[in-house]
Amino acid sequence: MRGSTIMLTVACVVAVGHAACSTYGDATNDIGSNADGGAGEDAGGLGDGGGLPDGAPPDGAPAQRNDFADPVLDPGTPVTAVQAAQIFALSNSAAAGPCLAEPQIGSLIPKNWMPLRFRVAATQGENLFEIRLVIPNQKSPLVIYTNKDTFKLDAATWTTILTHSVGTIDVSVRSATLDAGGNRTDGPFRGSQGQIEIAPIAAHGKVSYFSSSDGSVKRFGVGDLNVQAGSTSVDANGTCIGCHSVTPDGLHAALTLNGGLGGIILRPVGGGTTEPAFLTASARTLLARNNQHAASFSKAHWAAGDRTMLSMLDVGGTTEIIWTDLEAGSAAGWGIIARDGDVRGAQSAVMSHDGTKIAYVSATATSSGTISNNGAIHVVPYNARQGGAATALVADGSVNYYPSFSADDAFVAFAKAPGGTSTYNNASAEIWVVPAAGGLPVRLAANDAVACLSTPSPGITNSWPRWSPAVITAGTKKYYFLTFSSTRIGATRQVFVAPLVVEGGTLKSYPALYPHNQPETSANHTPQWSEPL
C-alpha cells in the first residue's frame, strides 16, 4: 500500500512517502544494548560506542561552538575558497542544480556511522560544487567546495559533529561550471536541499555479506573504515559456497555448499577452517546430507546442551524444515518440524530470537532451500522441536519470501515480488515489514533510490533483509536497523542499511544508507547482521 494512512484503534505503520496501519502494540522487549564501546574491529572507525552516550543532548546551548568558521577546500579544486565563495554569492540560475544522491535527504544516521560521504549527480555538466551543512550547536555552517562528485568528511570533522551535535542538519548543494582556466561559465545552480538527522544512538553489531566477486564472506561494523575478509567460498574440495548465515554469538558462519547437492559447513566468521569445538562427528555427518540448505539459528537455542540449527532438507521429494542437534551423539540427532495444515513445501525458515516460533515460506515448489516462483509467509510454533499448526502471516498472491524477525520479535521483514516470478535475483523485489503478531504489511522507504539516479524500485533487486541484533531505546523512541542488498548503484549488488523508528505505536521508515566502506565494484549480497566478535 502506498501513499495512504489507515487509522485503526491500536497503531499505525508509516513509511516516508508510504503508509499503512496494523494492529500491533508497542515493542517492549529491547534486545541487547549499545554499550560495547571501542573502535571498529581491526578497521578503525567509531564502533558501537562512538559519538554521544545514548540519549545525551549536545554539549552547550545552540550556536555556542564555532568549529567550522573556515570553509573546506577539497585538494585539486581549481579555484581558491575565496573565489568559490564569490561564485556562489551570485544569484542562482533558474536551471535545476545537482542532486544529492548520498546521503539521501531525509536520512537517519546512527551516531557511530562511518565518516559521512556526499555524492552528487550533476545535471548541467557542472564541475564545481558547494555542500553546505547547517549543524546544531554551531555558529557557522560547514561549507565544502570541491570539483569532484564525491566528497568524504575526514574522521576529525565527523567526530566533531557527532560529539557536539545530535538532531537535524540542514543540507544544501549547489554547483557551477568552470572553464579550463577556472573561470565561471555558468551557474550557480541550486540543487537538493533538505534535512538529514543524526540519531542519538549507535547501530549495534556486525554486518557480514557474501562477495561473489572474489568468493568470500566479509564483515564490517557501521563505523568501520574498511571491511574485513572472512571465510573463503571454497572448501577443501574446491566446492563453492552459496548462502550463509551467522551463529547468534557472531563467531561462526554456516555455509551452504553450492555444488549441486547442498550440505552445510561451519567456519569461523573471521576466516579459517577450524570447526567449533562443540560440533560432534555425528552432527558433522548430519550436516553433510545432500539437498540441505539455508541454515538459521536462534540465540534462545544457542548454549551448551542446546545447539540447534534449522535448515531446509528434501525429505521424500518435499522440502521440509528440519532441526539438527549440533552436539548430537548419534545419527538420530535431527527431526522434522511439523507444519500442520500446510501440505506445501517449505523454504527460508528462520527462528524467532525468543525461540518460540518459526517463520518460513510456504510454496508449491522449492529449490536450494530459498528458491520458488510462489510463496506465502507462514508461522509455526517451535514447540521443543515438534512444530505445530501453521498459520499464514502474509499471503496476498505476491511472492513473499526471505522472512526475518526483528531483535525483539515484534516485526518480520521480508522480500516481495510479483506473483509467478522467481525469488532468485528478482529485479522487482522490494523490502516490506509486517507485525509478527499479524497485521497489514508496509513497504519501506529504503526501497527507493534518490530520483536523480534514475534507478526506480521496483527494478533494483531490493532483497534479503536481515535485522540488527539489538533494538535501542532513547527517550520515547525505539530504533531498529536492518540490512539488505540492492543493485541501485551501477547495477552491481551492494549492501545497504535501513533505519526504522517506533514511537507511540507508529513505525517510521527512512531512506537507505550506503556503507561506502564496501568495494563498489564487488557483487555483495545475502547480508547478515549479528553480534560483534
Coil/strand/helix, residue 328: coil
CATH code of residue 493: 2.120.10.30
Q: How confident is the model at residue 63 (pLDDT cuts 50, 70, 90)?
A: low
Q: Is residue 53 part of a domain?
A: no
470 and 452, same domain (yes or no): yes
Task: Please determine, for residue 56, whether its predicted confidence score (pLDDT) is greater than 90.
Answer: no
pLDDT in tens, 265-283: 998 887 888 999 999 999 9
Report in angstroms the alpha-carbon separations of 266 from 201, 253, 288, 393.
33, 6, 11, 31
- Beta pairing partners, 21: 12
CA angle 29, 478, 432 (to 5 degrees): 90
Q: Give the Cα separation of 527 and 466 in Å (integer).
A: 7
Q: Is residue 146 part of a domain?
A: yes
Distance from first CA to last CA of the chain, Å, rounded?
39
Check: CB of residue 473 under 8 Å from CB of residue 454. no
pLDDT in tens, 148-204: 999 999 999 999 999 988 899 999 999 999 999 999 999 999 999 999 999 999 999
Listed in sequence order, the residues at least 6 apart from 166 whose beta carbon sits closer than 8 Å to its beta carbon are: 52, 56, 57, 58, 111, 136, 198, 199, 200
471 and 490, same domain (yes or no): yes
287 and 367, same domain (yes or no): yes
243 and 144, same domain (yes or no): no
240 and 119, same domain (yes or no): no
Per-residue cell: 56: 545525551
Report in angstroms the alpha-carbon separations of 339 from 274, 321, 325, 374, 382.
35, 9, 20, 18, 10
Last residue of a domain, one of 181, 198, 215: 198
355 and 487, same domain (yes or no): yes
Global pTM reads: 0.86
The three state secondary structure string of 74-122 is: CCCCCCCHHHHHHHHCCCCECCCCCEEEECCCCCEECCCCCCCEEEEEC
Q: Is residue 397 part of a domain?
A: yes
Looking at residue 161, its amino acid is I
Per-residue cell: 12: 499505525
Whole-number pLDDT of residue 257: 76
pLDDT in tens, 452-511: 888 899 999 999 999 999 999 999 999 999 999 999 988 889 999 999 999 999 999 999
Per-residue cell: 364: 508449491
98 and 242, same domain (yes or no): no
Last residue of a domain, one of 175, 198, 221: 198
**Residue closest to 7 by CA, chosen among 26, 20, 17:** 20
270 and 162, same domain (yes or no): no
**Cell match 524500485: residue?**
457
Listed in sequence order, the residues at least 6 apart from 457 whose beta carbon sits closer than 8 Å to its beta carbon are: 430, 447, 448, 449, 488
**Residue closest to 396 by CA, chosen among 414, 408, 369, 370:** 414
- Beta pairing partners, 256: 264
Q: Is residue 45 part of a domain?
A: no
Q: How confident is the model at residue 143 (pLDDT cuts 50, 70, 90)?
A: very high
Q: Is residue 466 part of a domain?
A: yes
How many domains is the chain built from?
2
Task: Please determine, for residue 12, whether its predicted confidence score (pLDDT) is greater than 70.
Answer: no
Whole-number pLDDT of residue 211: 86
Which domain does 462 fall in, by range?
Answer: 22-35+202-530
Task: Please determine, for residue 39, whether its predicted confidence score (pLDDT) is greater than 60.
Answer: no
Last residue of a domain, one of 170, 198, 226: 198
Per-residue cell: 368: 536450494
487 and 343, same domain (yes or no): yes
Q: Is residue 377 part of a domain?
A: yes
Per-residue cell: 41: 574491529
CATH code of residue 93: 2.60.40.3760
Q: Is residue 160 part of a domain?
A: yes
Task: Please determine, for residue 32, whether its predicted confidence score (pLDDT) is greater than 90.
Answer: no
206 and 155, same domain (yes or no): no
Q: Is residue 42 part of a domain?
A: no
Residue range 10-28: average pLDDT? 31
Of all residues in the chain, the percent with pLDDT exceeding 70 is 84
269 and 191, same domain (yes or no): no
521 and 397, same domain (yes or no): yes
